[in-house]
Every structure is written in C-alpha cells, then in structure tokens.
Amino acid sequence: MLQDRVFEEHWDLTRRIVILGKTGSGKSSFANTLFGENVCNPNHSAVSGTQHCQAETGTVNGKSIKLIDTPGFFDTVRSDKEMKDEILKCFIESAPGPHVFIIVLRVGKYTQQEKEIINKMTEYFSEEALKFTTVLFTHGDQLPEGTTIEEFVSKSKDLDELVKKCGGRCNVIDNKYWKIPQDGYRSNEVQVKELLNTVDRIIEGNSGQPYTKEMLKKLNTDLEKEQERIKAETPHLSRHDIKEKAKAVVQENWAQKFLNDTKEVLLKSFLSGGSYYY
C-alpha cells in the first residue's frame, strides 16, 4: 500500500506541526492535551495568551511530534516589531518546513469578528498550503449531544467552505471535559488518535515531504551553515546547544532583512503562493 511505502521511508520523522488561531481559541491548551502534560501556559485574558513562539517536542502514541505554538498572528494587539520577531521564530522552528498546519477554532456560535478572523486566515493561505492544513475545533463539549464535528461544520457556510478548502479535514477535542479516558466520540483519547491519523494522512498525501518555499529553503541553509561554523569553533558544545546558538544568530541576521516589512507581508510570504527572495 502507498501508506506503508511512504512511512517505511518516513516513519522515523519528527512531525513538525504549526498551530494557528486567534486568541482564546485554545491553542496552548491543545498542546497540553496532545502531550498529556502542561507544556504551555494558557492565558484567558483579552491579550494574546501565547506571548512567544513555543516549540515543544515529544512522543504521542509512538509518534514523534514537534509542535510549534504561535502567538495570535491574526488578532494580536502587540507591536509590529514584536510580532515580526515571533513570526520569524516560527519560521526557524519549523524549518525546513512544517509537515502540517492546524487551524484552531472554537466550537460555538460565530460572531462577525470570528468570521473576519477566518476570512483573514483564508486570505493568507494559498491552495498549496491548504494541502498541508487541517482544522481543529476545541471546546468540543459545546457540540450538541450526538452531533459530530462534521455535522456541526455543515450547518455553517463559512466553516463548511474553510474545511472544504482544507480537503474536508477537521477534528475536535475538549481541553477540559473530555480528559477522562472512555470509549465513544466525546473522549480526548479517541480524538487525539483521530487527529494524529489526520496528520499522517496529510503527510502521506504529500509523499512525506514538508511544506517548503524558497524562503524556508534559504533559511534552512543558513541554519545548517551556522551550525557547522559553531561546531568547528566550539566542538565541545552539545548538539542541542549548537542548534540553539545557530537559531539565535540566524534570528538576528534575518530580523535585519525583515526590518522594513510588516507582519502581514511576512505571514503572506510564509503561507501564500508568493515567493520571498533575498
């Protein structure tokens, strides 16, 4: 089978997953649910809870996962410079490219503001990027009893269009009420498995290759060169320390390149079909 051949070659990969969503959608809580421990600190204030791009690596159901949790790229009130720095960190952490994007939304009634967030997301994502994307709904307890997430989505024109653009892929969890292991639909144990199956189907559908653009290729080349330089100069450093030092150097160098660009330009350069050259 195709899936067997793909994962015979790529099964040992660390799945790089970038999660995107508005403030309060449950991105940080999802990271905790996925890994089964508190790796991120949720913040329920009106200001973006994830103040910095965070990358957490772990094993879930025997699968190696690197989860890149982002600030509220689409709705934050933080300064343009702060956001540009965090977007760049997201690029670096996901290099040479993410295998999957997860758009995180809440189950519930959708206000005009929330529709505008969805519109902004779809504006930034190209058709190419959407091939690597799934939609995850949090607050699954808000689903009417006996209703699946697919049925919930089908009742909203905006959500239905978004999910269709993502290949019809969507999943649901509940970071608060579905924690106790149980059989049936309303269980994080069940739904995390379903989500990981979705992730693997996306990877299979893209032949195990990550979402890679010219900018990400250049960024990865710079990271590799910087690691080689640091290793040659300080061979006693651990592999982890070399990687972290290389990230810091590349972050500073690329920040200068992005100096005059807006956060919107950077997001579009990452998620849209356009190219970004230096």
* All structural domains of the chain with their residue ranges: 2-205, 214-271
Residue 274 pLDDT > 80: no
* Cα 104 to Cα 117, 150, 178, 250, 251, distances in angstroms: 11, 15, 17, 29, 26
- Maximal CA-CA distance, the chain: 61
Residues of the chain with pLDDT > 90, as a percent, come to 49
pLDDT tens profile 59-95:
999 999 999 988 877 765 677 888 888 889 999 999 9
Residues sharing a CB contact under 8 Å with residue 18, sequence separation 6 or more, in sequence order: 68, 70, 90, 94, 98, 100, 101, 102
pLDDT beyond 50 at 46: no
Strands 170-172 and 15-21: unpaired
Return the pLDDT at 45.
45
2-205 has CATH 3.40.50.300 classification: yes
Q: What is the DSSP letter of 250?
A: H
Q: What's the whole-number mean pLDDT along residues 185-190?
A: 92
H runs (alpha helix) in the chain: 2-10, 27-35, 80-94, 112-124, 127-130, 149-154, 157-165, 188-205, 214-233, 239-257, 263-271
- Report pLDDT for 12: 59
Q: Which residues pair with 102 in a beta bridge?
A: 19, 134
Contact 31, 69 (CB under 8 A): yes
Q: Which candidate, 158, 167, 137, places its Cα nearest to that of 149?
A: 137
Decide: pTM greater than 0.75: yes
- What is the spatial distance between Cα 246 and Cα 224, in angstroms, rounded to a whole number? 8
* Interatomic CA distance for residues 262 and 8, integer angstroms: 42
Q: Could you say which DSSP state residue 54 is in?
A: E
Residue 6 backbone dihedrals phi, psi, to 5 degrees: -60, -45
